[in-house]
Every structure is written in C-alpha cells, then in structure tokens.
Structure 1
C-alpha cells in the first residue's frame, strides 16, 4: 500500500496476513482465491466457459463501479476514504464510519515514491481483496492454464479489468500486465495491452522498492532489491 503514507497505515499486519485473514469472509475471494480455487475456476473445470460467462455477467459485474464494465475515475477523496476503511478493518474496528474530506486531508501525508493521481478502475475499491487487489489479478498470479483461460474469458467480456491495479501500500500499482510479463505469458501480455492496459504503469509499492527505502525515502539508495516492475 505504497501509494500513500499516513497515520491510517500504522499497523503491524503484513499484506499476506491481511489477505489470508479475509479469505473466508471477503466476497471478492469467492470468485478466485489464493489457494488456486474459487467459483470461476470450479465453473470452468466442471461446466466450461459458458458457466464462467454466466457467473461473470450475473454476479461478478455487481462488484464493478458500473455493471457493464465501464471505467471509473478514482478521486483522491475516494481513495483516502477506502484507505481509512481498510485500516479500520485491519485493526478490527468499525469500518463503516465515513470521515469528512477535511479530516481525511488533515491526516494525509504524501509519500515520496507514490504521489497519488486520479486513475481509472473497473472493480469497485470497496469490493476488493485485502490488499486492494481484484480476483482478475489473482487469476494471473496463480499461474496455471485454467486460470489464464478464465482470465481471457473475463477480459473479453470486460476489457477495462486490464486497468485495475493493486491499491494497497505493499503492492501499489501492480497490474495484471506486470504479472503476465513476470510469469512470461506473452499471449496474455498481448491481450491485456490490446484491452487497454497501461504500458507505462509503474508498480511502486513497498514490495518493489530497494531494501533501504522500504521504511521511507532516505535521500540516497544503493538500489539493492528483489523486485522491480518498471
């Protein structure tokens, strides 16, 4: 969740712990999860592509900003409100409270690496996984032929899914295109680019930073790190 650093982010919970914590209760994970399962995978395996399309149209589309898959421009206020709710949820506190724009801005401190700008999305921020990801991201992350096939079906129905990025601090900016490139699936890379994925999108979350910058900008760096996604 490396796009912003503010008081909302003071938590000892790691990203993967938050994802696993929400697996059994977050509806987004019912479609595709971190254990290579989910209803979309089961539907494809047992009944084929037509069933995947049925679930996507009749059920999954209600998780989008617009049921037809049109893109939505996420504003700073909307984003900060989501971060607030996420941090409340991580801490086990009431996540239904909505702060005023003034209060949100009072507590906002821009991160050196991640300066928020309004950006487009398809999947509603408030209906995502524990680190701001979507099931579409997980289909590529799980790296299996059946997951790629399901992803292609969804992309054909809703091309704007290619616009979505991880919105949480740890993996902020990571897109399905990044993942497809890393795993070497050039067919998926081509399909995502054709669908409108941003080829200039940078992944600047904490996971992708040099080790000596993970706790904050120091002014200098030796650039040693484990992941760089452009």
Structure 2
C-alpha cells in the first residue's frame, strides 16, 4: 500500500487482517473435544442458518424499503438508502413511530410498519432461533464423531506439510503401526464379550438418539410409540424392510412393541409376527443387550399369554427352538450384574420367580439341562 501511495488504507487492512488472524485460532481448537463441536456449531450456524436468514431477510428488506420509499415520496438513491436504514432499525427495535404518523399517508404507513415488525422481528428472527436450535441438537448428537473427524483432518493437514522422513520419525509419532500399515489412532477401546464396549459419553448419546427417534415424525419408531397400526401399515407398504430397522441399542420394531407391552402394542406385534414370521428370530445386536429376543422380553414383562402364543402359533413353529435356546449375553446381563437372569428364557423365568411361565416353557420343550455361564 505504501508502494502504491495508499498509506491511508493501512489501518483498514490491518484491522481486517487482525480479525482474520485471530479467527484462524478456531482451527487449532477443532481437535479438542471440549471446544471442537462448538466451533463446528458456529460454522454451521453462520454458513447455513444465518446465510439462509440473510437471503430471505434481504428480499423482505428490499420490498418494505421500496414501499416506504414510495409512501414518503423520497427522491433519488439517497432516499432509498434512507428507507433501507429505517427498515433495518426496525429489525433492532429502533424506530420512530412519529416519523410514520407524520407522513403523507399515516394509516398505510403505520399498518405497513406493524406488518413489517410482525414478519421480520417476530416471524423471521424466531425462525432463525429455531433453525439454530436444530443445528445445535444435530451437532451435539454427533459431537464425538465430529471431534474424531476434525482430529483426523488436522493430522492430515499437518502431515501434508511434512516430508516422508519426518512423518515416520518417532519424535513426531501420532500414529500406530498395525501389520506394517500406519493408522491414525483417535481413541483407545476395550473389548467385552467380543464386542466393543461403549464409554459413558456413548451411553448418553444413545439415550438421546433413542429419545429423538421416538419423537421424530413419520418413522416406524413414532408409529410404534403411539401404537398407530395404520401408520405402521403405511410405512411397511412403502418399504417392507422397515421391520428390520435397527435402533440406537440394536433393537428392532418388534422388540419395542414388546417393551411397551400394552394390549394395543401386543396386538400389533401378533399381526406383524403372522405377516413376517422371520422377525421372531431378531435379537438385539449391540453390546448392551446383545442376544435378547422377544421371548425374553415377554417373560420380563410377565406376559404369560403372549409367551404361550409365541410358542404355539403355527406360523412361528419353525422358529420355536431358536426362541427357547436364545441367550442374552450383553453387558446388561453380565454375570456380575443385578440383571443377570441366566441368559436363556427359562433362566429368565426362574430368576424372576415366574413358575407359571416355567411350566409354559417346559411344556413347549425348553431344555432343563441347559446351563449358563454360572452353571445355573
């Protein structure tokens, strides 16, 4: 700028450069679990929610500004800019009512002002807040995954600026060697019963995910929660594979029907089992409740009639042995947990003192000699 003999612009450029420079600090906060997701929230809100708001607001601002420009008989481009300024101040709640009353058309001007306040200040601003709330919820739900992703992106960017020898140096080691290949390590995990064990943060996110699925519109989970047979049938008609959908803890729709356990839910469960008998074999397929099936759930809910129906209905006969032999071996049913019930449906019935249920299971061929890991 000095060479171009424009020294008066130095301060202006330096001010914006300082802002951009400090803004770059956000890049270095991205890999941290404590701050990374919030930086992502800000980015998504600015470039998605606020951008959409600004586009819609610009259209309304231009329209109202031109309307006031005509009502107040403003002249020239300066008059139009003045009208835009007045409309923008209305967004901030700063407007002079007397200015509109004392114009040539007081009634239309005040009416237009009120309409402007309702549409812009009340409707659009609250819509922006709602969109930001949705963005916050979406990012929070996947905060852990986003944190890992940003760590990986930053490591890749740093690696691209290093030579091959620097990358492999033990001093700069940020990777692990697995069978001769380099991998970025983002988290240590442990194993339990052959499956990945979730940490406390995962469990919280699972609860949030389950709750969100339950209240999300037009999903199989919402229809089941409401015991809405019509909605369930419509969803199945659209996509028959919806009966195989998996939830946050590895459950299927048939499991949730048994868990809710009202007469309406169980009626829907019977109907689905007759139409899709193969779903009787579905088990929870994630670590916490791995192996639990609908027979386990019916016993836990003390539904003796439902247990008898499951084991006697003709359409489920090919799957009866599988139902009786299933073992619930998830983390929730470990042998050192209060909820350890002996793994098999017969064990569940015995451990919960349901002797009428035991008789039903034995009548249908439950194996009395089957033992669990506690030799029970």
Q: TM-score range by the shorter chain?
A: 0.5 to 0.7
Residue in structure 2 matching 1:173, options 269, 291, 311: 291
Counterpart CA distance in 1 for 2:291 and 2:279 is 14
Pairs within 5 Å for 1:118-197 = 123=244, 127-193=245-311, 194=313, 195=316, 196-197=319-320
Counterpart CA distance in 1 for 2:310 and 2:299 is 10
Residue in structure 2 matching 1:200, options 325, 330, 348: 325
Number of residue equivalences: 145
TM-score (norm 2): 0.34
Which is higher, the Rg of structure 1 or of structure 2? 2
Judge conservation of contact 2:287–2:330 (CA < 8 Å) in 1.
yes
Counterpart CA distance in 2 for 1:30 and 1:53 is 9
Judge conservation of contact 1:28–1:129 (CA < 8 Å) in 2.
no
2:219 alignment partner in structure 1: 30
TM-score (norm 1): 0.53
Counterpart CA distance in 1 for 2:241 and 2:281 is 17
Counterpart CA distance in 2 for 1:130 and 1:163 is 19
1:227 alignment partner in structure 2: 340
Counterpart CA distance in 1 for 2:284 and 2:256 is 11
| Residues 1:54 and 2:233 are matched in the alignment | yes
1:20 alignment partner in structure 2: 208
- Residues 80-127 of structure 1 show CA distances to partners (whole Å, capped at 9, x for unaligned) of xxxxxxxxxxxxxxxxxxxxxxxxxxxxxxxxxxxxxxxxxxx2xxx4
| Residues 1:5 and 2:192 are matched in the alignment | no
Structure 1: gaps of 5 or more residues: 33-37, 65-122, 215-224
Aligned partner of residue 287 in structure 2, secondary structure: coil
